[in-house]
Amino acid sequence: MIRLVGGRIIDPASHRDEIADLLIDSDRIVDNAGSNGETVIDVSGYVVAPGFVDLHCHLREPGFEDAETIASGTRAAAAGGFTTVCALADTQPSTDTGSDVEALLTQARRDAVVRVLPVGTTTKRRESQELSEMVDMAEVGAIAFSDDGRAVRSASLMRHALEYSLLVERPISSHAEDPDLVDGGVMHEGRLATVLGLKGIPREAEEIAVARDLALARLTGGRLHLAHLSTAGAVEQVRRAKAAGVRVTAEVAPHNLVLTDATISDRPYDTNARTDPPLRSLEDAAALLEGLRDGTIDCVATDHSPRRWIDKACEFDAAKPGISGLETAFGLLMRLVHNHSLSLTELIAALSQRAANAWALPYGTLEPGASADVVVLDPDQAWVVDPERFLSKGKNSPLGGQTLRGTILLTIASGSIAYRNGL
Amino acid sequence: MTIEVLSRPSSPALIPSGQMQPVRRQRKNVLDLDDFSVAEIEAVLETAAAMKDVLSRPIKKVPTLRGKTLVTMFYEASTRTRVAFEVAAKALGADTVAVAAASSSVTKGESLIDTIRTLQALGADFVVMRHHQAGAPYVVAEEVKASVINAGDGWHAHPTQALLDLFTIKERLGRIAGLHVAIIGDILHSRVARSNLWGLTTMGANVVLCGPPTMLPAPAFCEGLPWNVERTYRLDEALEGADVVMMLRMQLERGSGGLFPSVREYVRTYALTEERLARAKPGAVVMHPGPMNEGVEIDPRVARGAQSLIEAQVTNGVAVRMALLYLLSGLPA
């Protein structure tokens, strides 16, 4: 038994916000103390919340273990307050079959400190040629399908993917970006790309792809999930589609909510700020925030993308996109709470309950009987980001040296302490 | 706040008025002209004039930078820029080393890190670098102790070209402020245009940009920049009343990339001919950073005509680069 004593429990799912003890028996949250011995942890003065759920995370194993492993990635997740991470399929080999899913889960059982849920590919090897074996993968635990990192190239194949997914009732997560319009672009097309002489990616690359996928979701009735939205125009399209009854969910990455393309010019050509989709303008960030607030965007997902040092220590055009984001997500997002754009409860919901609901996962709540996934956090404690101290193997963060206010103190995943920082 | 400055210790204080008094620091690098003040550009132009005197002497050599080493590192083809730097360094007594840099796209990141290590091992004082990707010299400048001079990076910047253009304009027309300068061609993909925009607007010139719509930066993207200048698609409009006509090279080796239908139509619409040049002010000067596609963006008769400063640009390129090397070395006047 674990007893967390005296914390402020915020559980958006049950509308709870009160000072109380939280009891954990084995891997469940319980009402009453059982007869087992108790571990008592004093968490008075801190917030106790449901463990965060990340629908979008690159753990790089198998195939790219020099960038991240399930062991290091899940430790980073725990340090960031995440108790469930969905592992994207762009590994080597990619997660294409039931046996790939099983292999990932086997490895996770051995190495992971938080729950890992596999996402299978939508098309085999993410090549946009043939659909992947969704039934086979769903039976052994794939919770969604995505070719993330690439869009499904043809509209007809995307249509069939959405249709076929009705058989397994799992969402198709789309990296909605028109590759022809990206055309080698490396940052948001705008004033700063013009100044820096870098090829831009227009907002329309996302908006055109989102329009296509929404139309196909309407046509097929399939469950569409839009990964990492970055533009105001896409938010508006999703808002209208939801109002029209299209089955669509959407996520936004912390960096697209809080940072802008100015991060690339503040320290000229900072490859750590190269992301896909790119960091965009203040107006886009404001629209994404509004979308998150009004429910157009369902949740925050990190798009944690650890990279090897050499993949960032190079020319901007040659750098691989992505931010190692699990460990800074909460602190970065807390900027929105500290500047009164979001309430702490809204932020916790966006990271836990609403993420779980988007994909109908039975997590993200502290109600009795739920899986004992709990995070204890201090919303005010400041810390300075030092990527070299990340538990993730990916040290690629544009936030190095910056102060974030909001610290994870304790993470309990399925009843086990996965991360403990000073409590 | 720190500003980098390039000036002889004897020049007047360059600190602009304001509440925050920036700390002055001897400039280490020349990466673009976006961080150059008027006084700093003037210091370069004045020093270049003195260097031009040195070059007109029977023995074109002074020992100012004896014992210093300049490394040129060109990932992209260049004749005049590389040669001008080498001649400039030798005229000041420095040693020059040319490092062959593979431009293979396969090596990408590794090659740049390799470059940095090579430079550190060589103990170079100056690194002159050209690279096909924007920002590459910034990566090197952050890592090495040497002064890094950007000799062209992707579409981004070519500051020494812009400085020699400013010098050449001032030498011929006596001033820069108030002049009407038309920049014509593929502005969007031109590092020469970008650096000249910073330099010309800092020095108070009125610039007009002219090119096909596929090759001009969108007006919205220029807002709030010193180069939020007049723009036109029509060559005749751009030339009207111009003191300086600056032609850009068409990057024909890149192919049209969907940016224009044919060379034929481009020539018809944008080539600078004697008839069209007549719309500019009498005595207007014509410039081109080279190498020219004669018969494409510029008619050979204009390129070789009385109004052309194209050869003077090449000659002045040496003096301006001597001035930069001298000023970067921080030696007293």
Among A195, A203, A270, the residue to mutate for chain B (most B Cβ within 10 A): A195
Within a domain: B178: yes
Determine the Cα–Cα distance for residues A149 and A143; give it in Å rounded to an integer: 18
Task: For residue range B255-273, list pLDDT tens digits in order.
Answer: 667 888 899 999 999 999 9
- Interface touch B135/A196, C-beta < 8 Å: yes
Within a domain: A255: yes
Q: What are the per-10-residue average pLDDT scores of chain B (333 residues)?
A: 61 45 80 95 96 91 92 88 96 90 52 77 90 92 92 96 98 97 96 96 96 92 84 97 97 76 93 96 96 94 96 96 94 58
Q: Which domain holds residue A278?
A: 51-362
B117 plus B175 within the same structural domain: no
In chain A, what residues touch B134 (CB-CB under 8 Å)?
Answer: 196-198, 269, 316-317
Within a domain: A96: yes
Determine the Cα–Cα distance for residues B325 and B86; give it in Å rounded to an integer: 11
pTM value is 0.92
* Sign of the dihedral defined by the CA atoms of residues B210, B215, B219, B224, in that order: negative
Determine the Cα–Cα distance for residues B305 and B310; give it in Å rounded to an integer: 10
Q: Is the confidence at residue A91, as pLDDT, over 50?
A: yes
Within a domain: A158: yes
Angle subtended by helix axes B310-328 and B80-91, to nearest 10: 50
CATH number of the domain bearing residue A103: 3.20.20.140
Task: For residue range A139-166, list pLDDT tens digits in order.
Answer: 999 999 999 999 999 999 999 999 999 9
Rg (CA), chain A: 20
B263 plus B170 within the same structural domain: yes
Q: Give the model's pLDDT for residue A370.
A: 98
- Please tell me if residue A219 touches chain B, with a CB cutoff of 8 Å: no
Q: Give the model's pLDDT for residue B113.
A: 76
B263 plus B122 within the same structural domain: no
Q: Is the confidence at residue A305, as pLDDT, over 70?
A: yes
* Sign of the dihedral defined by the CA atoms of residues B218, B223, B226, B232, in that order: positive
- Interface touch B153/A317, C-beta < 8 Å: no
For residues A39 and A342, is the Cβ–Cβ distance under 8 A? Answer: no
Q: Which residues contact A411 (CB under 8 A, 6 or more apart)?
A: A51, A78, A79, A81, A82, A83, A114, A374, A375, A376, A417, A418, A419, A420
Q: Which of residues 3-62 of A touch B (CB under 8 A)?
A: none
Determine the Cα–Cα distance for residues A316 and A295; give it in Å rounded to an integer: 35
Within a domain: B182: yes
H-only helix segments in chain B? 38-56, 80-91, 108-122, 136-143, 159-173, 191-202, 219-222, 235-239, 263-270, 274-277, 300-303, 310-328
Across the beta sheet with A115-120, the strand order is: A52-57, A82-87, A115-120, A144-146, A172-174, A224-226, A248-252, A299-300
In chain B, what residues touch A319 (CB-CB under 8 Å)?
Answer: 109
In chain A, what residues touch B139 (CB-CB under 8 Å)?
Answer: 269, 313-315
Determine the Cα–Cα distance for residues A395 and A400; give it in Å rounded to an integer: 9
Could you confirm whether A303 is annotated as catalytic?
yes
B88 plus B103 within the same structural domain: yes
B240 plus B197 within the same structural domain: yes
Determine the Cα–Cα distance for residues A76 and A57; give it in Å rounded to an integer: 11
Within a domain: B100: yes
Give the closest residue to B48 by CA, choosing from B198, B159, B167: B167
Closest CA–CA distance from residue A159 to any residue of chain B (Å): 30
Within a domain: B173: yes
Within a domain: B32: no
Q: Which domain holds residue B103?
A: 61-157
Give the active site residue among A298, A303, A311, A373.
A303
B168 plus B284 within the same structural domain: yes
B295 plus B165 within the same structural domain: yes
B136 plus B206 within the same structural domain: no
- Interface touch A316/B133, C-beta < 8 Å: yes
Which of B138, B217, B224 shows the shortest C-beta gap to A269? Answer: B138
Within a domain: A166: yes
| ipTM above 0.95 for this complex | no
Lowest mean pLDDT among A35-44, A371-380, B153-162, B287-296: A35-44
Give the closest residue to A346 by CA, choosing from A383, A298, A378, A285: A298
Within a domain: B16: no
B172 plus B298 within the same structural domain: yes
Q: Give the model's pLDDT for residue B103.
A: 52
- Interface touch B154/A314, C-beta < 8 Å: no
Count of pairs with CB atoms under 8 A, one residue in A, one in B = 77
Within a domain: A29: no
Q: Give the model's pLDDT for residue A51.
A: 98
Closest CA–CA distance from residue A138 to any residue of chain B (Å): 39
Within a domain: B298: yes
In DSSP notation, B251-298 reads -GGG--TTS-S-HHHHHHHH-B-HHHHTTSPTT-EEE--S---BTTTB
- Please tell me if residue A167 touches chain B, with a CB cutoff of 8 Å: no
B135 plus B233 within the same structural domain: no
Lowest mean pLDDT among A54-58, A196-200, B82-86, B251-255: B251-255
- CA torsion A30→A36→A42→A46, rounded to 10°? -20
Banded model confidence at residue A35, pLDDT cuts 50, 70, 90:
low
Instruction: Find the residue in B nearest to A186 (Cα).
Output: B134
Q: Give the model's pLDDT for residue A398.
A: 97
How many other C-beta atoms lie within 10 A of the C-beta of residue A255?
28
Per the prediction, chain A carries an average pLDDT of 97
Q: Give the model's pLDDT for residue B252.
A: 80
CATH number of the domain bearing residue B199: 3.40.50.1370
- Interface touch B194/A269, C-beta < 8 Å: no
B136 plus B279 within the same structural domain: no
Q: Give the model's pLDDT for residue B282.
A: 95
- Interface touch B222/A194, C-beta < 8 Å: yes
Within a domain: B286: yes
Which of B194, B220, B222 shows the shortest C-beta gap to A197? Answer: B194
In chain B, what residues touch A313 (CB-CB under 8 Å)?
Answer: 109, 112-113, 139
Within a domain: A69: yes
**Number of domains making up chain B:** 2
B192 plus B88 within the same structural domain: no
Q: How many helices and strands in chain B, by DSSP H and E?
A: 12, 11
Question: What's the average model confidence in pLDDT over A378-394?
Answer: 98
Q: Give the model's pLDDT for residue B22.
A: 60
**Number of domains making up chain A:** 1
Q: Give the model's pLDDT for residue A422.
A: 86
Within a domain: A28: no
- Interface touch A194/B217, C-beta < 8 Å: yes
